[in-house]
Structure 1
Amino acid sequence: MRVLLLAALLVLTGCSSPPGGAGHVPAQAGERPPLSALTPLPDPRSYHGPTTALVAHNDIVPVDTPTPRLPVTVTDFQDTSVTVTDASRVLALDVSGTLAATVFGLGLGSRVVGRDISTGFPAAKDLPLVTVNGHQLNAEAILRLRPSVVLTDTTLGPWDAVLQLRDAGVPVVVVDPKRAMDTNVPIVRAVATALGVPEAGELLARRMETEIADTVAQIKRLAPTDPARKPRVVFLYLRGQAGVYYLFGKGSGADSLIQALGAVDVATEAGIDGMRPINPEALAGAKPDVILMMTNGLASVGGVEGALTVPGVAQTPAAANRRFVDMADSVVLGFGPQTAAVLDGLARALYAP
């Protein structure tokens, strides 16, 4: 239900990434000192001013150059038996861009023939776009690319487009739509198995686990150990042009990201489940020190000054300190191979801006 709500939100508001024939590549920071070399703020709860969090590098580093061993028959997330006989022309499509990043991470990026609007890393940015009106599948555009296999989930619609692909004989493998810290490895394994490269899947899963564990360990050295000094963070999904103002709570994915940062997810603390329209009193009562959001979401309401007019925001400690942290839409909740890089960028914004 939470995933369906997120998909509906993104369709309603157009898109979470700038539209266009060529992909929009988020800014990157480039080489910088490791988190372990940074001096943290004396009090991250009282820092004043906004910060844009950046990953060091946008592109996906492949773990291997595997050759798929096919055919394989898999039972997908919807308990559908799907046989994949050819992985020469792959489409990997979902609302967060996770699946395409995973295929590139496995070393099969040269086989990807199109992209969704959320796939914005450099190696994929010039691929043909097969979603319209933000996050709606265009079956005709997909079929024109002659895919040999499509990987997707239930975050993109309409479902009739998926049925149209299957009717045309295209194998469609549906994976788990949930995105969170604990779904990274299962999604990698599901994608790798469907494409006939399970060994590469294990390599990528282990690399991701190692990178994330190392990053989280470094974050722990930056974050306050005293619970009273930990920054209180809330994730808001804003689309000003559509009048959409949502708060992401427990089970949304944002909660696991905030917790991995050693911060307090105030929505979870307040018992807010999933994704809910902002309740001004509840938001003010949660007393977040930091408001985390997507870069385009912040821009859609007119930047920091505009965000202060969103009901409930002005009454928060974050507003008093203008403490907004934004990160590129196509990155911040994408998880997958970029998870450690996202945590690294957000930790710098929180603890050593």
Structure 2
Amino acid sequence: MSKSFDFRRARPWEVALTVFALSAPLLLPLSTAGSQGFVRQAVAQEMQQVDTSKVVVIGGALTEIVYALGEEGRLVARDSTSMYPREAMKLPDVGYMRALSPEGVMAVNPTAILAIEGSGPADALAVLKSSGIPFETVPEGFDRAAILKKIDIVGTFLGVPEKAKALEEKVGADLDAAIAEAAKRPESERKRVLFVLSFQNGKVMAAGGHTAADGIIGLSGGINATDGAFEGYKPLTDEAVVNAKPDVIMLMDRPGHGSSDEEVLKHPAISLTPAAANKAILRMDGLHLLGFGPRTASAIRDLNKALYGKTGNVSQ
């Protein structure tokens, strides 16, 4: 006759093994085909337990999504890129998304933080994440799928997945229509667009692949003049600018800041391009154009019209 198991004298690993053996019959049903639904439900319940009554949002696109979901009442602060809708400007500003101060964010006593990927600096994020305040990072991306994923993550984090699903369907349909219309432009007629972020020591800082500028140019029926030669933003040599042969020079609209159209066209390299010959300078709202949020379908239509519609010298 075997002796009964004495928990008081057992070693820790023996206790753990015994507990697992006794609980296995209860856990077995959860490993069936239906267990995935159980896990998703458990994750959803856990997310809903996060207190999102006072949220700091970092990233203009995320702020737009929160407002589009009708959940702006939860926001207690925003970063400086969150300038749309105008009502958001009334919220306290915790600073630029890439130069955050942990003290500034925590000063508004948030119960949760929602930040776009790429926010920083890293040491500031480390402090915020170690503070115990729930911190959700939303992946950045520059296509249709990325926009819908942002909406899904924000909606789930705020505990309003039904609202998020409805917004995804609406935004997705609008994007499909705008992209399909721009795609009708024959390849032979598509304009080469050089997006200039800034001028540094006389060098053109241009957009390469895997950037918001590259994404919106492609979706709008244009061609990034850098032809995927590099990723991110990079200063170009004068030779590289000339060889890019841009039909249009595109910049962000910054009233009172940056170079004038005349100064841009007189740049030693730009002056030798088709864009300069046609005086094709295009300036657009950076947040609207590069935000990749709920308004991106509108940005696609606006850029397509600016490039090919009857909108002055750019469309000539």
What TM-score, normalized to structure 2? 0.77
Please give the root-mean-square deviation of Cα atoms over the aligned residues, in Å: 2.5
Aligned to 1:294: 252
Matched, 1:173 2:136: yes
Shift of residue 136, structure 1, vs aligned partner: 1.3
Where does structure 2 lack aligned partners over 5 or more consecutive residues?
A: 1-42, 312-316
Shift of residue 127, structure 1, vs aligned partner: 1.0
Q: Say whether the 8 Å CA contact 2:141–2:147 is kept in structure 1.
A: no
Match of 1:238 among 190, 198, 203: 198
- Alpha-carbon separation, structure 2, partners of 1:258 and 1:191: 26
> For the structure 1 residues 311 and 301, does the alpha-carbon distance in structure 2 shift closer, same or farther, using more than 3 Å as the test?
farther
Aligned to 1:57: none
Shift of residue 101, structure 1, vs aligned partner: 1.1
Shift of residue 184, structure 1, vs aligned partner: 0.8
Aligned to 1:312: 269
Shift of residue 162, structure 1, vs aligned partner: 2.2
- Bigger relative CO (Cα 8 Å, ≥ 6 apart): 1
Aligned to 1:204: 167
Query: Percent identical across equivalent pairs?
Result: 29
Aligned to 2:25: none
- Alpha-carbon separation, structure 2, partners of 1:286 and 1:125: 39
Equivalences for residues 133-282 of structure 1 within 5 A: 135-220=98-183, 223=185, 225=186, 227-238=187-198, 245-268=204-227, 271-282=229-240
- Large movers: runs of 4+ above 6 Å: none
For the residue of structure 2 that corresponds to 1:131, the secondary structure is coil
Shift of residue 299, structure 1, vs aligned partner: 5.5
Q: Say whether the 8 Å CA contact 1:91–1:100 is kept in structure 2.
A: no
Match of 1:333 among 290, 295, 298: 290
Aligned to 2:307: 350
Matched, 1:123 2:81: no
- Alpha-carbon separation, structure 2, partners of 1:173 and 1:73: 13
> For the structure 1 residues 311 and 105, does the alpha-carbon distance in structure 2 shift closer, same or farther, using more than 3 Å as the test?
farther
- Alpha-carbon separation, structure 2, partners of 1:309 and 1:301: 14
- Alpha-carbon separation, structure 2, partners of 1:309 and 1:73: 58
Where does structure 1 lack aligned partners over 5 or more consecutive residues?
A: 1-69, 75-82
> For the structure 1 residues 108 and 310, does the alpha-carbon distance in structure 2 shift closer, same or farther, using more than 3 Å as the test?
farther
Question: Could you tell which deviates more after superposition, 278-287 or 303-312?
Answer: 303-312
What TM-score, normalized to structure 1? 0.69
Aligned residues: 268
- Alpha-carbon separation, structure 2, partners of 1:88 and 1:166: 18
